[in-house]
Amino acid sequence: MIVIAIIGILAAIAIPAYTDYTVRARVSEGLTTAASMKSTVSENLINGNIASASATAAQACNGVNQISASAASTTNVKTALCGDKGIITVTMNSNARDVVLLLTPTYTSTDGSTVQWKCTTTSDKKYVPSECRGT
């Protein structure tokens, strides 16, 4: 009887933790999807010597392969879009709890050839990869 109680307690702890882990793994697919988009935006900002703060979508997102809702090619990503200032918005589907990731580039034309990326979200922090949890 004690063994059954212990197994029940362990299951009550492990199942929710595993569920959070699987959602986080699905959300990380969004970062993988955005990786090539980030590279293209970085190249556009650096090669065009355009500060990210003033970049239009046409300048920063030129050549970026965006994913619309009707053309979603992954299991968990609903959309991956590039907008003004090169900000990439990745929206996950219900399998990944509809998490939204915002990837924001920072580049000034005077700082050389580095683009820094910051990942933020307004979704529940327990569902996003560590680099998007912020402070």
pLDDT tens digits for range 83-107: 999 999 999 999 999 999 999 999 8
What Cα–Cα distance (Å) separates residue 3 from each residue in 7, 14, 15, 17?
Answer: 6, 16, 18, 21
Which stretch, 16-20, 22-26, 64-68, 73-77, has highest mean pLDDT? 22-26
The span from the CA of 21 to the CA of 1, in Å, is 30
Domains of the chain and any CATH numbers: 2-132 (3.30.700.10)
Phi, psi of 79, rounded to the nearest 5 degrees: -145, 155
**pLDDT reported for residue 73:** 64
In tens, the pLDDT along 46-88 reads: 888 787 778 888 899 999 988 887 666 678 999 999 999 999 9
Q: Sheet with 88-92: list strands edge to edge.
A: 77-82, 88-92, 100-106, 116-121
